[in-house]
Amino acid sequence: MSTPDYRKDPDKVAKLTPEQYDVTQKAATEPAFRNEYWDNHDTGLYVDIVSGEPLFTSINKFDSRTGWPSFTVPIDRSNIVLNEDRSYGIVRTEVRSKHGDSHLGHLFNDGPAADGGWRYCINSAALRFVPLDQLEAAGYGQFRILFTTEAAS
């Protein structure tokens, strides 16, 4: 099986909504509690809207009460790039996708202690959700194993 070529796709960038473009390409932040996935409880995979690279699973999503999707860990740390962000007069850690170079959100150290203490606070506008029952059809069948009982425990 060949590895997919996750990369910044100019065609996908051209089709982004204005909010998706501002978030992924200009490092904007969408409004809290008024975004697509903050309260999504469905099982599945979250991928970069620009490159399609798999980033997070619903298994590692939690309610941070911040109004944005929050995750304890990425699927593969090598698909995430962390940068120092000094905007707004504070120091934060920006989260970007490696292959799509999309601004995703920020990393904070106030996540659930039992799960490592990290909170990947991610903009819904940077993500596409692939439901568990659509993984194969969408080309992400190899990630189904992450949702088995053994993998989740």
Residues carrying an active site annotation:
121
Helix, strand, coil % over all residues of the chain, rounded to 5: 30, 25, 45
Interatomic CA distance for residues 94 and 105, integer angstroms: 6
**Which residues contact residue 55 at a Cβ distance below 8 angstroms, ignoring those fewer than 6 apart?**
46, 47, 48, 74, 75, 79, 80, 97, 104, 122, 127
